[in-house]
Structure 1
C-alpha cells in the first residue's frame, strides 16, 4: 500500500491499512527518532501529541467552519481523558491515527481516537471536550450544524 502521510485517508485506504472499521478522520505518519525513549520504543508523550494533532485537524476540517462566521470561535479544551496503551511501537513504523465523536451534549462532546500500526490497535484515547466562550467566562453552545455533523457523519448520539 502506498500510504499518504498528513492527508485524510479514504475509507478504502483505512481498510487497506488494516483498520477494523473506517473512521470519520484518519491520518497516517511514521515514527521518528525524536519520539523514542531510552528503551527505543515510542515515548508515551508522543502518543498524546499524535492524538492532539488529529483533534486539531478534526476541528479545523469539520467543526470550526460550522460556527457562526460573524463572531469569534469557541475555545475548545479537553476536560478529561483516558489513554489505553495496548502495544508498544518502534522506530520507522507507519501508523494511522483516527478520530470520531461518539456522543454530544449542549456544550461538550466525547471523542474516541485510535492508533493503528501493522494492522493492530496500539493505543486508544477517549476524551470529553468542552467548548467555552472566547474569553473563557462560560460555556459556548454547540451550533445545530455541529450537532448535525456529529450525528450524521460520526454516528454520535445526543445525550442529556
Structure 2
C-alpha cells in the first residue's frame, strides 16, 4: 500500500476497512511519534488527523484555495483510544463527515492497524468569513458530504 496518498472506498475495503468509510490514507508509525511508554503519543494522532483533513478538504472541494479563503476553525476535537499503536506499525487513517449544519460540520476519524480500529476521533469544524462571521457551507459541498459520506443535515 502506498503511504501518504489518499485512499478511496475500494482501496479501504482491500485494507479490511468496512463502509461507511470512503476516504483514508495509509502510513507507518515513526520513532518521533512514540512516547516513553513505546506507543503513539496523543499529540501524534492530532497531527495525523490534521494531515488527513488537508487531503480530505482538497479532495472534497472544501476550498479550492483561490479567491478569498474561508477561515476553517477546529472548534472541538476528541480521541477515544481502543488499542495501542506502536513503532513501525502500518496504519490506515480514515475520515468522513457525519453531520452538516449551516456553517459547520462534524467529522469522524479512525485509525486502523491490520484492519482493526485502534483509535476513534471526532472534530467539529466551523467555516468563518475573514471578519469572523459565520460562512454558510456551499450547497454543493453540503451535498457532497451527504452523498459521499452519508452525512446527516441538521
The aligned residue for residue 10 of structure 1 is 8
Q: Please state if 1:86 is matched with 2:82.
A: yes
- Between the aligned partners of 1:144 and 1:100, the Cα distance in structure 2 is 17
Runs of 4+ that moved beyond 4 A: none
Normalising by structure 1, we get a TM-score of 0.89
- Between the aligned partners of 1:140 and 1:89, the Cα distance in structure 2 is 37
In the TM superposition, what are the counterparts of 1:81-120 in structure 2 within 5 Å? 81-120=77-116
Q: RMSD in angstroms over aligned alpha carbons? A: 1.5
Cα contact 1:15–1:22 (8 A) shared by 2 = no
1:22 deviates by 5.2
Q: Call closer, same or farther: CA 1:56–1:121 in 2, change over 3 Å.
A: same
Q: Which runs of 5+ in 1 are unaligned?
A: none
Q: Please state if 1:64 is matched with 2:60.
A: no
1:48 is paired with a residue whose SS is helix
Match of 2:30 among 17, 29, 32: 32
Normalising by structure 2, we get a TM-score of 0.93
Q: Which runs of 5+ in 2 are unaligned?
A: none
